Every structure is written in structure tokens, then in C-alpha cells.
Amino acid sequence: MKLTKLSALPTGILVAFVLLVVVWGFCSVSPSDFLTLFKDKEFISAVVFGLKTSFVAVLFSSIFGIPAGFLLARNSGVLSKISDVMFDLPIVIPPLVVGVLLLNVFNSSIVSDIYSFVFTFYGASIAQFFVAFPFTVKSSKSAFELIPPVYERIAMTLGAGYFKSFFDTTFRLAFDSIVSGLILSWLRSLGEFGATLIVSGGIAYKTENIPINIYLKITEGNFKEGLAASLFVIAVVFVFVLLTKFLFKNRRFTP
Amino acid sequence: MIDINLKKWFSNFNIDVSFSFKQLRNVLFGVSGSGKSSILKMIAGFFAPDSGYIKVGNKVFFDRDGKINLPIFKRGVGYIPQEYTLFPHMTVEENILYGVRVRGLNLDRVRFNFLVEKAGLRGHLDLYPNELSGGQRQRASLVRSIIVSPNILLLDEPFTALDSSIRVEMYELLTSIVDNLEIPTIYVSHNLEEVYEFAQEIAVIDNGVVLKCSDRDTVFSNPVNPKMARLLGYKNVLKVDRVVGNRVFIDEHIIKVEKPVPQADFLFIRAEDVLLLRRDTDISDKENVIEGKIVSMYSGVSSVCLKIKDGSLLVYARVSKHVAKKMELKVGCDVLVSLKKEAIRIGWMS
């Protein structure tokens, strides 16, 4: 028996497991539960807050993460390797711990004398940025590694300057993967719970994002609405993950 | 026209070369790892030499003493490496016109049409590189490099990955374009046939130094040492014992050369230039006849290489398959070979 055929069994079990959990969830709520959810002003406020903070987090992830990914892809020095390991930390550290560490920094006199980030929009954005930017770095690094530097050199021989040659060749060719990485970073920010809760406090109508709203709904005993909100998140995530898989697949060229 | 003098120290390899080319079609020839591609990359500006200068026409690309190091995009070089380098996300037309666009030049339609027709790309302009064959990709790369009228065209074995039949077409196209548009070109190769086809001038590079730089025929007919002789396809490199006038002593054999020479360390003879004779041939008018035995035979596509031994002297000869069959050559056969004086080259140790 071929190995691929043999692998089909565990693959099928995993798919069935995911489907069971999601479908069971959708079977457990009625359309009226969703209607109630969308009429809930606190939930809508949480959605808006989550979108805003995750947007800021992704914006800064792209500003810092894409150049960092480029450096890691092109430079194999010791400092690059150490940086690469450092960028793994936010991924593997539990978000709650990230929140505690950030809270510690924000509460230090050096930072708090300049601005009080705790329980604020910016505090929540920084927490989400910390957790999400490694996804941008890693995906950018992988994307840039696949593009040989010779394209940039050829563009330069044809008259393009340093930045233009990079933008017209390497960046354009890596663009699809970078966008996919940014979408993943954004989804990670949107679904961030532990660090955001610790830093921003999850204050209703002020610093409450979707996962905090779901948590509060369930702790208040409002399980059905919490479940409906969770399924809403799943639907959003599903659409965007699907987008990252198929967005650029119908192009005639192969980067 | 092209004046190069550069030194570069790598961790395990050094380049120290000085040569100049005055013709359009020039070749850096040497085995893989001899440093020729690195020299080409330094001319293109991909990295800088540690010292020296690079001058093309009246433009100085690099001069350590004058503190000049033009960035790649100001050198005006066309560079085509072995790998396919058309931008994958652009169509053939977009690729060809990239240099025109980024330099803000007005497109010379006559030149564009001439090059596109010449390269046979007229029907392929809307295609992406992955929709082209290897030959079409390299032709498009060539047109892309040339349309912006480069100061120099640098080719780093660009046709190596192509089929031999396509390679011949590519040389013809390249030669015709370079001659028509008068673009100084440096072609890097380790392929003897390629070099002979294309070159007007050749610099033979070995281990980071220039063994010889001259016009093609001078280089091919005057190998200076055994290394260069082997590079240039001289199969017979015979160690000389002593020389008296025009008589060269190799073990118990005496080989007569064209002119008296004061000293010689080696004789170089191409296997193709060794004349194979029948046993019953009248040898009275033949030069340097040696009687030997075929000790091995290697058959190629169209020719047979023979190893002939006479005592300690080993001579390689190459004959067509047709001749080998007609003469009924086989291992163990006794044969006569003649080393024509005009085919013998004199070589020295260094």
C-alpha cells in the first residue's frame, strides 16, 4: 500500500474531528441566536474594537516584520539566527504570560511616566502586535527565501535603483505569500485573548475585543450567545483562510 | 576597448588578472572554478575587487585608486547568466521593455522590431516566461539586455542548459546581434567548441590568473604550458628530455620540429593532427613516423580516440569512425603514426 493511501486515514480522522466540532456548534444554535448577537451593542463594540486594534497590530507588523523577514532570508549571520530564535518566542510563550510581561513593562516608571498603556486601546494593540508580528516575519522570510537575488541584480543591470529593483522583482514575487502572512497575523490579532485581557482589562465598550466578549458571555451564563459569537469568529476566520489559499492561485505565472 | 586589471582575495581563492580586449566578441575561457564568472560579476558590479580598475570604452566602472565604484545600475551592462532570469511575473514584452521603462527612455520601435523578429519572439510577446521553452527564454533575456544599448554585454555560459541543436542557433543569433549592433561582449565559457565558434579574442583563465590573452587563432595555436594545452584540447602533452637544433629528444625517440629551438620542456599535439598510416604506406616522405601498438580505443559519436604506445611513448590519435572501420583498427593492432611538424607546438614548464 502506498504511503499516501496510508496517510489518508489519519487525515480523514483529523478532518472529521474538526468538522464534528464546528458542525456540532452550528447545530446547537438557531438563527435567532445570531440575530440576538448582532443586536447586542456590547458585542458590536467588541467587534469594532477588535478590528481597530488588530488593524494597528497588522500595520506595525508589516512595517517592521517584512523588512525583518527580508533580512533573515538574505543574511545568514549569527545575529540573524539569534533574531530568528527570538521571533519564535512570542509564538511559543502562552499569550497570558506575554500579557503579564507587557504589564510589567507598562507599569514600570520609565514607561508609565511617558504614557499609561494599561487599560487602553494602544496597550491592547501593542499586546496583539507582540503576539502577531512573528507570523509576518516568518511568512515574509519564507517568501523572500524562495526568490533568488539574481532578479534584483538583473533589474539593476537594466537601470533600476536599489529600492526599485527590489520592489519590482523580489517584493512583487513574494507579495502573495507576504499578504497570506499578514492575513494570518491579522486573524491572530483578532482572536487574541490572554495578553489583551491582561493589558487592557477587557472593559466593556472600551477595551473589550471579540474573544473577551465571548469569555464574559459564558462566565455570565449566556452560553448560547457565547457560542453564536464563537461561530461568527469561525466563519470570519474560515473565509480569510480560504482567501489566503485561493486568492492568487489563478495566475498564469508561477513565481 | 575593455581594460581590466583587478585583484580579489576570497577566503580560499585569489583572483589576480590583467587583460584587455579590443574586439567585439571576447571570451573568458577556463575550467569551472577558475575564477572567470567572478571576474564577470565584478565587471557587472555585483561585488567590488579589492584593487585595480575596470574600464569599458571611455567609461570607468571601477578604479580603486581613483575611488570610483559605479553602482550596477549606472554601469549600463547587459548580464545573462546560465539560469533563466526573465522576471516570472512579467510577460515577455514587459520583460523586454523593463529597462526602457525604468530608465525613462523612448522606445526605439525599429530596434525593438528588429530584435524581436531576429529572436523569433513576435508571437510570444504576451506569454509569461513559464510558458516559453528554455531557448525562447534565453533569447528574450538577450533581447531585454540589448534593447537598452548596454555599454557591454556579459554572458555567463547562458546557453549551457539548452539542447546542443538550440545552442548552435543561439550562437548564430548572438554573433549576428553583437556584430550588427556593435556591442562589446565578454562571454564566459569552459566549452572549447563554444569558445572557438564565438571568440575573436580570448583570455585563458586558470586558478585566478590569466595564462594568455590574445586573438583566437594565436591562443589556440600557442599553448604556453601543459595546463593551457590541456585546456585548449591538446591531447598529446609529451615531456621533452633535451633539444638539439630542431631535433627534440623524447626517451629514445627523436621528433623533428619546424624550426630550431633553444629550449623546450613539452611538445603539444592535437589528437586530430596525428596522422594514422597503414602498415604498407610508403613513409619516405612522411615526418616523424612512429611505429606503435594500439593499447586502447574509445568510441565517440563520430570519431574514435586511439591510444598508441611505442615503448615509453604514448600518443593519442583521433580518427573518424569511417576511417577506423576502413583501416580495421582494433586494440593490439600495430600501426604507424606521423607527427606533422606544422602540428607540433612547443611548450615550457610555467
What's the pLDDT at A252? 65
Looking at per-residue pLDDT, the higher value among B216 and A245 belongs to B216
Confirm or reject contact between A10 and chain B (CB < 8 A): no
What's the pLDDT at A241? 83
Confirm or reject contact between A155 and chain B (CB < 8 A): yes
Q: Is A202 left (phi over 0), alpha (psi -120 to 50) or beta?
A: left
Nearest to B194, CA basis, from B158, B237, B236: B158
Q: How confident is the model over A51-75, as a mean pLDDT? A: 96
Q: How far is CA A235 from CA A9, A31, A239, in A?
A: 27, 14, 6
Is it true that domain B2-222 has CATH number 3.40.50.970? no
The answer to whether B89 contacts A173, with C-beta atoms less than 8 Å apart, is: yes
B253-256 and B334-339 beta bridge pairing: unpaired
Asked if A141 contacts A83 with a C-beta cutoff of 8 angstroms, the reply is: no
- CATH assignment of B227-347, among 2.40.50.100, 3.40.190.10, 2.20.25.90, 2.40.128.20: 2.40.50.100
How many CB atoms within 10 Å of residue A166? 20
Whole-model pTM: value is: 0.84
What's the pLDDT at B171? 86
- Of the pLDDT bands very low, low, confident and very high (cuts 50, 70, 90), residue A161 is very high
CB < 8 Å to B98, chain A: 155, 158, 160, 168
Report the residue of chain B nearest A173, measured CA to CA: B89
Strand partners, B242: B249
Residues of chain B whose pLDDT is less than 50?
none
What's the pLDDT at B328? 87
- Of the pLDDT bands very low, low, confident and very high (cuts 50, 70, 90), residue A24 is very high
Asked if B261 contacts B244 with a C-beta cutoff of 8 angstroms, the reply is: no
Cell of A61: 507588523
Burial, A149: exposed, middle or buried (Cβ in 10 Å; 0-12, 13-18, 19+)?
Answer: middle
Q: How confident is the model over A116-121, as a mean pLDDT? A: 92
**Percent of the residues in chain A that have a pLDDT greater than 70, as a whole number:** 96
Residue A163 has pLDDT above 70, yes or no: yes
How many CB atoms within 10 Å of residue B100? 19
What's the pLDDT at A255? 57
Cell 546560465 belongs to residue? B82
The answer to whether A148 contacts B83, with C-beta atoms less than 8 Å apart, is: yes
Q: How confident is the model over A30-49, as a mean pLDDT? A: 93
* A150, A155, A161 member nearest B81 (Cβ): A150
Which ranges in chain B are annotated with CATH 2.40.50.100?
A: 227-347
**Alpha carbons within 13 A on the beta-carbon side of A146:** 16
Residues A169, B58: Cα–Cα separation, whole Å:
31
Residues A25, A31: Cα–Cα separation, whole Å:
13
CATH topology of domain A50-208: MetI-like fold (1.10.3720)
* A150, A157, A253 member nearest B78 (Cβ): A157
DSSP state at residue B312: T
**Which of helix, strand or coil describes residue B63?**
strand
Residues in chain B: 350
Confirm or reject contact between B81 and chain A (CB < 8 A): yes
The answer to whether A161 contacts B77, with C-beta atoms less than 8 Å apart, is: no
Residues B169, B159: Cα–Cα separation, whole Å:
10
Shortest distance between the Cα of A27 and any Cα of chain B, in A, equals 45
DSSP H stretches of helix in A93-247? 95-107, 109-112, 121-145, 150-157, 162-165, 172-190, 194-200, 210-219, 223-246
- Of the pLDDT bands very low, low, confident and very high (cuts 50, 70, 90), residue A4 is confident
Cell 509564538 belongs to residue? A91
Burial, B52: exposed, middle or buried (Cβ in 10 Å; 0-12, 13-18, 19+)?
Answer: buried
What's the pLDDT at B103? 93
Burial, A35: exposed, middle or buried (Cβ in 10 Å; 0-12, 13-18, 19+)?
Answer: exposed
Residues 167-206 of A with CB under 8 A from B: 168-169, 172-173
Confirm or reject contact between B43 and chain A (CB < 8 A): no
The answer to whether A157 contacts B145, with C-beta atoms less than 8 Å apart, is: yes
* Per-domain residue ranges of chain A: 50-208
What's the pLDDT at B222? 87
Q: How far is CA A113 from CA A106, A125, A126, B52, in A?
A: 9, 19, 17, 58
What's the pLDDT at B350? 65
Residue A1 has pLDDT above 70, yes or no: no
What's the pLDDT at A133? 94
